[in-house]
Amino acid sequence: MKFWKQILQKLKENKKVCLLTVVQHYGSSPGRKGFKMFVSEDDFIYGSIGGGIMEFNLIEEAKILLKQKTQSICIKKQIHKGKIEQGSGMICSGEQTVVFHPLCNQNILLIERIVTSLGNNKKGVLTLSSNAIKFEQNLMNSKYQFDLYDFENWCFKEQLGNAETIYIVGGGHVGLAVSKLFNMLNFYVVVFDDRDNLNTFEDNEFANEKHTINYSKISEYIPPGSDSYVAIMTNKYTDDKLVLSTLIENQYRFLGVLGSKAKLETMYKVLEEQDGISREKLSKIKAPIGVPISSQTPEEIAVSIAAQIIEIKNRV
């Protein structure tokens, strides 16, 4: 959402903007489908379409486009194989196709709709074509769709919205650090705690939602689904156990618990013997949560959790 907010700010300043979007890629192209950046006429740049000399050259082309009296939508193919026709100047192999889409203050309402939709955790479809840009509040069966008939007749559609939501159960120091990092990773961040007047919870400006609840009702707040990621990190062993036992029967893309191996083994034993939860189900829980990088600080723990969840999210 920050990306679109930045565009909106420039348009409201009456600055023209060129939106660059990767609509197709092959091989080991540094720019992947959906990568975006924009260049404004005051030379402000935000985002990335892959970096390197290729990106530098396309930025310069966008600046030239913005200086023209009439800005037209255009599309450009970049082949990363050195000095060849349509070559990007890069040698990493692969190729990508980039769309240049000029925007001006007449597009403010459109960008406002995108910002509002994303701010409300709603999904919509962005359509870029050879003659228009649109945003509609509906859904697609896939993240992207690109139809290229020729370079004068094409259409790219992208499902916008926070497809992935991370539910952080525990609003302490680690919860705050995890919120900040996943906010940067464009997850929709929801944080829960059962304590009143907790400073790390109250001061958490990175969460999209914050709820003070009774942990026994946690399942009412976290819907199952392939886009739901749950990280349990309460301040008590008993609360971790309560939350896990409440959620374990539901299907999530990720369900993990923060804690030492000794603590978690004790918890598993109790859940198995007293709650009747099978060891097979318990073995599917990511615990201890995060990749083993000897993390110690809340920020390091957040990085380890993010690495683990990113690997699962991007797994084909």
The CATH number for 215's domain is 3.40.50.720
Question: Cα separation of 170 and 233, whole Å?
Answer: 5
Claim to verify: residue 151 and residue 15 sit in the same structural domain: yes
**Which of 99, 131, 156 is the last residue in one of the domains?**
156
- Answer yes or no: is 188 within a domain: yes
Output the pLDDT for position 235.
92
- Answer yes or no: is 132 within a domain: no
Question: Cα separation of 240 and 237, whole Å?
Answer: 5
Instruction: Say which amino acid occupies 39.
Output: V
Claim to verify: residue 178 and residue 104 sit in the same structural domain: no
- Answer yes or no: is 251 within a domain: yes
Mean pLDDT in each 10-residue stretch from start to end of the chain (316 residues)? Answer: 92 95 76 89 92 86 90 78 49 74 94 90 89 88 83 88 87 96 91 95 94 95 91 93 92 92 87 85 89 93 96 84
121, 119, 232, 194: CA torsion to nearest 10: -110
Evaluate the omega torsion of the peptide bond into residue 224 and state whether it is cis, within 30 degrees of 0. no
Output the pLDDT for position 84.
43
35: DSSP letter: -
Question: Cα separation of 98 and 24, whole Å?
Answer: 7
Output the pLDDT for position 28.
58
- Answer yes or no: is 33 within a domain: yes
Q: Per the structure block, which two tokens stand in for 80? A: 């990363």
Output the pLDDT for position 79.
67
Range of the domain at 52: 2-122+146-156
Claim to verify: residue 152 and residue 189 sit in the same structural domain: no
Quick one: the chain helix, strand, coil %, rounded to 5?
35, 30, 40
Claim to verify: residue 59 and residue 185 sit in the same structural domain: no
Residue 90: exposed, middle, or buried by beta-carbon count in 10 A (0-12, 13-18, 19+)? buried
Quick one: how far is CA 98 from the chain centroid? 21
